[in-house]
Amino acid sequence: MAGLNWLWKALGDSSGRNQKRSQGIVAQAEKQSAQLQALDDAALAAKAREVTAGGTMKDPAVFLAVLGEASRRTLGLSPFSVQSQATLRLLEGDVVHMATGEGKTLVGAMAATGFALMGKTVHSITVNDYLAHRDAEWMRPLVEFFGLSVGSIGEKLNSEQRREVYRCDIVYGPVAEIGFDVLRDQLITDRKDAVQHGADVAIVDEADSVLVDEALVPLVLAGNEESQAPTGKITAVVRLLKEGEHFTADEDRRNVFLTDRGARRVEDLLGIDSLYTEDMADVLVQVNLALHAKELVQRDVHYIVRDGKVQLIDASRGRVADLQRWPDGLQAAVEAKEGLAVSDSGRILDTITLQALMGRYPMVCGMTGTAVEATDQLRQFYDLRVSVIDRNHELQRFDEQDRVYATLDEKNRAIVEEIAVLHAEGRPVLVGTHDVAESEQLAAELHDRGIEVSVLNAKNDAEEAKIIAEAGDLGRVTVSTQMAGRGTDIKLGGADERDRQQVVDRGGLAVIGTGRHRTSRLDNQLRGRAGRQGDPGLSLFFVSLEDDVVSVGGAGESFAAQPAPDGRIDNKRVYDFVNHCQRVTEGQLLEIHAQTWKYNKLISDQRKIIDERRARLLDTEQAWEELSQRSPRRAQELQASVDHETLVKAARVIMLYHLDEGWSEHLGMLDDVRESIHLRAIARETPIDEFHRIAVSEFKLLAQRAVDDAVETFNSVTIDADGAHMDDHGLHRPSSTWTYMVNDNPLSGNGQKALKKIASMFGRRREDDEEEN
């Protein structure tokens, strides 16, 4: 660990001290192992309970030794010293940085078992159903060895099955499913209907992805209610608009704007006088959404069309993002663009971001292969520290200098040539692309060269485990869109030792990146697929000066360089420039997170107040007490004919109905405000300040309005031995609900730049109107 002294200084002295102490404890644990081998299973399990009695680890060294011995007996896996060290750091609440292939699954299971033995309930959070089920079943023998229970949550489970799983000591589940269960539990009117009751600890796999990259993704619970969709006429009109003449896009293609000429063209085609009058506000929004869908949202990059539906692609993982959708207007605009049936959005009943979801756990820890690069965000947003765990075997992978080319075409030709050379050597090659379209185009070019290719992208992610497991086979070429969270290690040569040796002799797995990502963490996740457990390997990234990262990160900057005949530019200045561009895009992502969090934090704080209010109504007689105080005559009348318990339940149902209705209307109002908040800039108001003013003002009215409405219902609705007959008065909850994740945020990106452009556009239009008048 001496070589990492610089890192400990960067992370803080306490990290270094903790690491040294952890290494000492692990060394002690290894000395204890021989003594424990003589114990039978019952005595070994009893030893674990002895050292964790009272909810603390009395002797961490003995405890780690017991976990290690139990793992050998139940799983046939002997933990490496670095895995025991990582387990200890998780138990102390850190995010551990462990390289790909170093055994994070076992580490997570040992830590979860440790927490459970100390009497804590544990949610082991994964990124998808497959990993949750796989890990729960794989680690079940270890967990059950100590008399503990384990289960996994999946999308297809019904309420009773979920309720049963959540009773387990350790629950594996996708972060989205756990979040959706939290939201669904916010609709119950009787505590026994809840499927989960939270947990003491969250152990997060792919922690940087969940806690940073997707932290502000809102999970949404919606109820059935018809919504307005973009009209086919508006979509048809927008198809006729031309870039540069009728609209412009900003440098990073996050925003698109009508020109004056474009606005007049739309007005002519729609037969309206002006887009910029108050009564045309909805039409203007629809036009802008249709324009955004046409120009900025690309098929096979941002989404695919499968089974007659638009399915979003998770950019950080390269797979279909199950249950995700864009905000309602954009989702409908894309569906209209593709000629598909436009889905109803419904009414938002409740919503929570992943960051707010994580905030519900008293303790959060996690694992990832790229935690160091996210150290600042983990500390800023979660007060989490990063512990770097050394590799079990020294890294043998060679990370070659990027190959930079002047143009995209020259870069793509060079990628195909390099793959052909490596393939001719019999070396397995894994190519990481950025989207579905790129993966399919590259696969087609390789096929034309007579090279057989396995393709893994959002269109065939069901075959994921098989494709990845074979990616290290002799001569195999695999083209994949992103590798983060795939959850399957690439073993050289598969299970055959002779094949493995042949691959080793050829230099191991070669990983090729077709371009830098907007954050170096994604680059490193791809690199980490080679060099597993001391295997040899190679990583090599190709970059062109036309790549998005370079054009966005280097906007407005230029330098002179002379490319070689094949377009390659080989000098230090260009390498420094590419690195600079990536740092700029990383900074933009941080800005997006910070800006978006300002909007979400207030909503998160408000929902905590609603949660507390709801819990009091559910768990006490407060609803009856409040209603009987406000309407004593009605209460006295009901007490004469209805038993007290029924009245308490009826009052609870009434109060919860109006509280939930009020919260839903509040969220809908805030959603509308967020979509139009940029217009506040025209009046020289700061959007975030104005949003906060509206949100706080409206929230103050919410609780009192909910009580007033409940009192009115209490006085008018029929209440008898069967409870409150809400349906008779048209007061019923949605007959069906569904869940989804909002993929994009209209407030992200270079918001201030967009605001200035919108403001100037309106300003110009107003001046033109004044001149005409």
CB 430 within 8 A of CB 529: yes
Residue ranges of the domains in the chain? 2-223+354-388, 232-345+755-772, 396-586, 615-733
End-to-end CA distance of the chain: 76
Q: Give the pLDDT of residue 3.
A: 44
Q: Give the pLDDT of residue 673.
A: 81
Q: Give the pLDDT of residue 460.
A: 59
Contacts for 702 with CB less than 8 Å, ≥ 6 apart: 662, 663, 666
Q: Identify the H or E element spanning 687.
A: helix 687-716
Question: Could you tell me the two tokens for 40?
Answer: 């039978």
Question: Could you tell me the two tokens for 102?
Answer: 């170093």
Residue 202, pLDDT > 60, answer yes
Q: Give the pLDDT of residue 501.
A: 93
Q: Which residue has the higher pLDDT, 161 or 533?
A: 161
Question: Could you tell me the two tokens for 555?
Answer: 């906007």
Contacts for 701 with CB less than 8 Å, ≥ 6 apart: none
CB 516 within 8 A of CB 544: no
Residue type (1 letter), 165: V
Residue 564, pLDDT > 70, answer yes
Distance (Å, rounded) from C-alpha 378 to C-alpha 361? 15
* Main-chain phi, psi angles of 495, to 5 degrees: -90, -10
Residue 430, pLDDT > 60, answer yes
Helix (H, G, I), strand (E, B) or coil at 342: coil
What is the average pLDDT across 11-40? 77
Residue 760, pLDDT > 50, answer no
CB 460 within 8 A of CB 439: no
Give me the helix-helix angle, 60-75 and 13-36, nearest 10°: 60
Give the ranges where 52-103 is alpha helix by DSSP (H). 60-75, 81-91
The 3-class secondary structure across 533-599, one letter per residue, is HHCEEEEEEEEECCCHHHHHHCCCCCCCCCCCCCCEECCHHHHHHHHHHHHHHHHHHHHHHHHHHHH
Q: Domain spanning 232-345+755-772 has what CATH number?
A: 3.90.1440.10
Q: Which residue has the higher pLDDT, 708 or 462?
A: 708
Distance (Å, rounded) from C-alpha 158 to C-alpha 153? 10
- Widest CA span of the chain, in angstroms? 97
Q: Which residue has the higher pLDDT, 527 or 750?
A: 527
Indicate the pairing of strand 247-249 with strand 363-368. Answer: unpaired
DSSP one-letter code for 230: -
Q: Domain spanning 2-223+354-388 has what CATH number?
A: 3.40.50.300
Residue 617, pLDDT > 70, answer yes
Q: Which residue has the higher pLDDT, 606 or 599?
A: 606
pLDDT tier at 757, thresholds 50, 70, 90: very low
The 3-class secondary structure across 354-396, one letter per residue, is HHHHHCCCCEEEEEECCCHHHHHHHHHHHCCCEEECCCCCCCE
Distance (Å, rounded) from C-alpha 145 to C-alpha 438? 47
The residues pairing with 151 across neighbouring beta strands, listed in sequence order, are 171
Q: Give the pLDDT of residue 719.
A: 95
Which range among 78-87, 242-251, 679-688, 718-727 shows the weakest confidence by mean pLDDT?
679-688
Q: Which residue has the higher pLDDT, 583 or 316?
A: 583
pLDDT tens for 103-112 read: 999 999 999 9
CB 205 within 8 A of CB 484: no
Question: Could you tell me the two tokens for 199?
Answer: 């947990």
Question: Could you tell me the two tokens for 765?
Answer: 């239009």
CB 358 within 8 A of CB 204: yes
Distance (Å, rounded) from C-alpha 357 to C-alpha 611? 13
Q: Domain spanning 396-586 has what CATH number?
A: 3.40.50.300
Q: Burial, 761: exposed, middle or buried (Cβ in 10 Å; 0-12, 13-18, 19+)?
A: middle
Q: Nearest to residue 333, comparing CAs of 367, 379, 373, 287?
A: 287
Distance (Å, rounded) from C-alpha 273 to C-alpha 263? 11
Residue 64, pLDDT > 60, answer yes
Distance (Å, rounded) from C-alpha 317 to C-alpha 461? 10
Residue type (1 letter), 212: V
Distance (Å, rounded) from C-alpha 357 to C-alpha 221? 14
Question: Could you tell me the two tokens for 226?
Answer: 């018809």
Residue 488, pLDDT > 80, answer no
Residue 165, pLDDT > 80, answer yes
pLDDT tier at 484, thresholds 50, 70, 90: low
* Main-chain phi, psi angles of 127, to 5 degrees: -100, -10
pLDDT tier at 683, thresholds 50, 70, 90: low
CB 681 within 8 A of CB 755: yes
pLDDT tens for 350-398 read: 999 999 999 999 999 999 988 888 898 899 889 999 999 999 999 999 9
C-alpha of 454 from chain center: 27
Most confident of 277-286, 366-375, 656-665: 656-665
Residue 337, pLDDT > 50, answer yes
pLDDT tens for 250-277 read: 766 667 889 999 999 999 999 998 888 8
Residue 743, pLDDT > 80, answer no
Mean of the per-residue pLDDT values of the chain? 86
pLDDT tier at 671, thresholds 50, 70, 90: confident
Q: Which string of b and e fits 260-272 if b means at least 16 CB within 10 Å? A: eebbbbbbeeeee
Distance (Å, rounded) from C-alpha 79 to C-alpha 86? 10
Q: Give the pLDDT of residue 502.
A: 94
Q: What percent of the chain has pLDDT over 70?
A: 87
CB 666 within 8 A of CB 699: yes
The CA–CA distances, whole Å, from 439 to 430, 436, 575, 768 equal 12, 5, 25, 48
CB 179 within 8 A of CB 358: no
CB 345 within 8 A of CB 356: no
How many Cα atoms within 13 Å fall on the side-chain side of residue 148?
30
Q: What is the pTM of this model?
A: 0.83
Tell me, yes or no, if the two domains 2-223+354-388 and 396-586 fold the same way.
yes
Q: Give the pLDDT of residue 735.
A: 73
Which range among 57-71, 153-167, 709-723, 727-741 shows the weakest confidence by mean pLDDT?
727-741
The CA–CA distances, whole Å, from 766 to 249, 260, 263, 657, 682 equal 22, 11, 13, 46, 12
Distance (Å, rounded) from C-alpha 401 to C-alpha 404? 9
What is the average pLDDT across 589-598? 80
Q: For the domain made up of 615-733, give the CATH fold.
A: Helical scaffold and wing domains of SecA (1.10.3060)
pLDDT tens for 113-127 read: 999 999 999 999 998
Q: Give the pLDDT of residue 756.
A: 33
CB 750 within 8 A of CB 255: yes
Residue type (1 letter), 586: E
pLDDT tier at 698, thresholds 50, 70, 90: very high
Q: Give the pLDDT of residue 328.
A: 62
Q: Burial, 401: exposed, middle or buried (Cβ in 10 Å; 0-12, 13-18, 19+)?
A: exposed
What is the average pLDDT across 233-240? 90
